[in-house]
């Protein structure tokens, strides 16, 4: 069964921001889908296994944003 986790990311202001965060999070092993809501900064990630906060935080930082 898939794991669904929701995170909040700050600093995103445009579609390019969304694409960058989506791309970086998609590279985490086991991630199946990423849904980003620009207005609220909500990021919902569906993965095969539970995600570690450190992995999510690193991917978001790599994209240039901050995980709350």
pLDDT digits (tens, 9 = 90+) for 23-54: 999 999 999 999 999 999 999 999 999 999 99
pLDDT classification of 1: cutoffs 50, 70, 90: confident
- Structural domains of the chain ordered from first start: 3-67 (3.30.70.100)
**pTM tops 0.85:** yes
For residues 25 and 58, is the Cβ–Cβ distance under 8 A? Answer: no
pLDDT at 39: 96
> What does the alpha-carbon distance between residue 40 and residue 12 come to, in Å, rounded to a whole number?
9
């Amino acid at each position: 069964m898939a794991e669904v986790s929701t995170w909040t990311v700050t600093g995103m202001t445009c579609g390019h921001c969304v694409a960058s965060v989506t791309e970086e999070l998609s590279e985490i092993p086991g991630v199946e889908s990423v849904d980003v809501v620009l207005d609220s900064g909500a990021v919902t990630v569906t993965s095969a296994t539970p995600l570690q906060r450190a992995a999510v935080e690193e991917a978001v930082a790599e994209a240039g944003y901050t995980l709350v």
